[in-house]
Amino acid sequence: MKLYGLPGACSLVDHIALQWVGKPFEYISVARDALKVAPYIHISPLGAVPAIDDDGFTLTQNIAILEYLAEKNPEAKLLGGDSLKARSEARRWLGLLNSDVHKTFSMIFGAARLVAEKPAQDELAASASARVRDMYVVADKHLAGRNWLSDGRSVADAYLYVTTRWAKGKNIDLSGMPNLEAHFQRMNADPAVQAALAAEGLK
């Protein structure tokens, strides 16, 4: 299997998942300026990461890839456990992280693409940062008294970890969220997470 990713981007979630699976795969780093031109545009028509190639089967879109990895490798329990409730809980958080948290970050990272004037860009980024903080407060409360978002470690935890890295990189205020910080440190200490970070040249 090949995983195409941009270091530190949401494809890091899939990279961590593949490390958890523990089977051979190849990580292919795609430069930002190579995303929307050949040859990568033929792999991912929207010019976005992640994408995988599994023996000729190409798949894009983060949630679809994570579901594919989970179904193909049930022994890895990438959805947090064996029960329907555990898997559904992981999917609930995957949905929130992908559709709400990640989408809101796009207004922080890409404010200049959305509005022309600098003051409006700053206002949009600040508003989005406040919204992201509100969503992390929800995650912090959910994590009280538990290690993971679902019954066991899941790809939703990897997604939360990656977006928390973004939040820290953008200096979003995460104060007063001890459970979120404990989750971040727990994930950061995971050998598979460290292997993925090292492969992508991240700290």
- The confidence score (pLDDT) of residue 113 equals 73
Which residue bears the tokens 């929800």?
A: 138
Tell me how far CA of residue 118 lies from CA of 110, 112, 121, 170, 173, in angstroms: 12, 8, 5, 17, 22
pLDDT tens per residue across span 142-176: 999 999 999 999 999 999 999 999 999 999 999 99
The phi and psi torsions of 53 (rounded to 5 degrees) equal -125, 110
Q: What is the pTM of this model?
A: 0.95
β-bridge mates for residue 60, sequence order = 51
- The confidence score (pLDDT) of residue 121 equals 84
| CA atoms of 64 and 193, how far apart (whole Å) | 21
Query: What homologous superfamily is domain 2-77+193-199 in, according to CATH?
Result: Glutaredoxin (3.40.30.10)
β-bridge mates for residue 154, sequence order = 79
Mean pLDDT of the chain: 95
Q: With bands split at pLDDT 50, 70 and 90, how would you rate the model's confidence at 111?
A: low
Q: CA geometry: angle at 81 spanning 66 and 138, to 5°? A: 75
Q: CA geometry: angle at 19 spanning 14 and 23, to 5°? A: 110
Domains 2-77+193-199 and 84-190 share a fold: no
Q: What is the mean pLDDT of residues 40-69?
A: 98
Domain 84-190 in CATH 1.10.167.10? no
Nearest residue to 137 via CA among 100, 176, 188: 176
Q: What is the mean pLDDT of residues 52-80?
A: 98
| CA atoms of 118 and 3, how far apart (whole Å) | 36
Domain boundaries, the chain: 2-77+193-199, 84-190
Count how many residues are written for the chain: 203
Nearest residue to 144 via CA among 179, 182, 181, 186: 179
Residue 87, C-beta contacts closer than 8 angstroms, at least 6 positions apart = 79, 80, 81, 150
